[in-house]
Structure 1
């Protein structure tokens, strides 16, 4: 299994300071070298990356090159390897893009269907609201008619009671 390190671990293995390693990595990236990134966007250093940085350091110490010169040679040598490694990643990226496009198309269709369903539900809610309002109005009318009928009954009963009570009182 390949060894994978983050910046602090790679710096310890190379015998460099973390900031020095970061500077070297930035210079290498500016020359076209590619480092994988982790979940927090931190650089991931694989064995090949560490060996490339070691070669870069050797060129600077042995040949007296500047950081830029050594990085350019290192990035140029690794460029062929990176292209070969990047090709399947590009294909995977294209497949991922195709899958994302399919998902987007599917989501758009679902959104259209949901919009239609929403319109139908809105119409049903409107109809039900009208029915509820009609029933409430009918109930109010029924209650008013019931009250009017009860008042008429009471008036008639009260009218009759006055005769009935007066007759009974007089016979007593």
Structure 2
């Protein structure tokens, strides 16, 4: 309980996996990846993870990055943690469903809003960058397709010209043979 006498609601893994629409094993995998990068979840009396609003926000952001933006887990974890200051990360073991804090809820919520706005701003920039990147890739693919089409046209034209040239050479050689034959026939009378 904090000074104002209010408590922040705590959630368990099952509740969060249901809320996020992911399997429990996926939640564990995500939490382990976050913990490997230094993020610490509060633990209940039985050492199971306890989740608070800021943890849920972090996990939601992770889900969006992985499922909608197709980021790899390790990259998504680093990205979401880049918006979390070290002193804002949760730590320690607390009683179940209660937070003991000297910070009034309004201040904590304000800090969370600021943090959320920073994360959203970073995501907006990242989405804009992704849109720009996709646009550039599409232009590059169109250019490559056009160049390949031009190359194919040049190759076909060169092949046609080569075939025509060979036909003309063959016809010329045949005419030369006939002319040479006629010359010898005229010369020897045969």
TM-score range (shorter-chain normalised) is 0.3 to 0.5
Whose helix fraction is larger, Structure 1's or Structure 2's?
1
Q: TM-score by structure 2 length?
A: 0.41
Q: TM-score by structure 1 length?
A: 0.45
